[in-house]
Amino acid sequence: MAMLNDKMETEIVRIAVQKSGRLQEGSIQLLKESSLRFSNGKDQLKTKAVNFPVELLFLRDDDIPQYVEDGVADAGIVGENVFIEKQKNNKLVNRLNFGICRLSLAVPRSVEYTNIQWFNGKNIATSYPFIVRQFLEQNNIQAGIHEISGSVEIAPGIGLADAICDIVSTGSTLLSNGLKEVEVVLRSEAVLIAGPDLSAAKQSILDKLLFRIEAVQKAKNNKYILLNCPNEAIEPITRIIPGMKSPTILPLAKKGWSSLHSVVDENDFWEKIDQMKALGAEGILVIPIEKMIL
């Protein structure tokens, strides 16, 4: 039994992250917010966390699903678009709520686009042939697909294709290349993927990391709120911000008044602030939450 425990303690989970690109910064930030300490100097190919049994591998985004399938990496952080396109033997463990984008069809701005039937008989340049082919089949569109990597936006301008399908975040790249977005094929974000056959020890480590990640994610979506209110307003304000279970209520030195502490979803924040002010709430403080464990 002692030998088994020693083996579990020495297990390391290797997580592949993007070496460079749009997901690299968000991946590193999320892991550091999850209290992993590691160096990530320029041109590093791998690094170990000093306080958690994780080693990071810095790889090309498109290669990560293959490395995870082969068992070189136990898990990886990639765009959902890459996870779907590569069709490797990986499982999606968690959505990470950063790297939000969409995979869209775009045509030259001069085109009078009416509906998706426009693509019948056209040629589409893309780095995502599997996803595009599925989308076209679902919409009964017969179109040619030219698979290219990098600089997809230039394809219509040089006569290679009539349209493109590529990642869109702000749309500025399309605009600068004389294109316009016309159909959203897939909405994507960064996801944590893992191999299907992790050992019990490695799965335990990954679960602990996931617990930390989820605590960070919950914290980002919520704010800690403190306010003063007349006692007769406590009940209606509690209905507006019930908190995780119920608010904390503390009496103030001022007779007939209390301090109310709770948690509010950031998406509902301003609407609820207005409601509470109308009920007499004063001295409202809103504080970021670093970690949130339910």
The model's pLDDT over 123-169, given as tens digits with 9 standing for 90+, comes to 999 999 999 999 999 999 999 999 998 889 999 999 999 999 999 98
**Helix axes 200-220 and 24-33, enclosed angle (nearest 10):** 100
2 pLDDT tier (thresholds 50, 70, 90): very low
* Confidence check: pLDDT of 198 > 60: yes
Query: Considering the chain, what is the average pLDDT of its residues?
Result: 92
Helix (H) or strand (E) holding 28: helix 24-33
Distance, CA of 141 to CA of 121 (rounded, Å): 8
CATH number of the domain where residue 253 is located: 3.30.70.120
Which pLDDT does position 42 carry in this prediction?
67
* 43: number of Cβ within 10 Å: 6
Does residue 133 belong to any structural domain of this protein? yes
Q: Which residues constitute the domain of residue 238?
A: 222-288
Q: What is the domain count for the chain?
A: 3
By C-alpha distance, which of 59, 57, 48 is closest to 21? 59
Q: Are residues 260 and 161 in the same domain?
A: no
Q: Are residues 6 and 88 in the same domain?
A: yes
End-to-end CA distance of the chain: 33
pLDDT in tens, 16-34: 999 988 899 999 999 999 9
Q: Are residues 95 and 174 in the same domain?
A: no
Does residue 160 belong to any structural domain of this protein? yes
* Confidence check: pLDDT of 115 > 80: yes
Tokens of 236: 């209606």
Q: Are residues 199 and 181 in the same domain?
A: no
Q: Are residues 24 and 87 in the same domain?
A: yes
Does residue 294 belong to any structural domain of this protein? no
Distance, CA of 270 to CA of 205 (rounded, Å): 39
pLDDT in tens, 38-52: 987 667 899 999 999
Q: Are residues 74 and 34 in the same domain?
A: yes
Burial tier of 287 (Cβ tally within 10 Å: 0-12, 13-18, 19+)? exposed
Q: Are residues 6 and 105 in the same domain?
A: no
CATH number of the domain where residue 128 is located: 3.40.190.10
Which pLDDT does position 102 carry in this prediction?
96
pLDDT in tens, 223-243: 899 999 999 999 999 999 988
Which pLDDT does position 292 carry in this prediction?
85
Distance, CA of 289 to CA of 294 (rounded, Å): 13
Radius of gyration of the chain (CA): 25
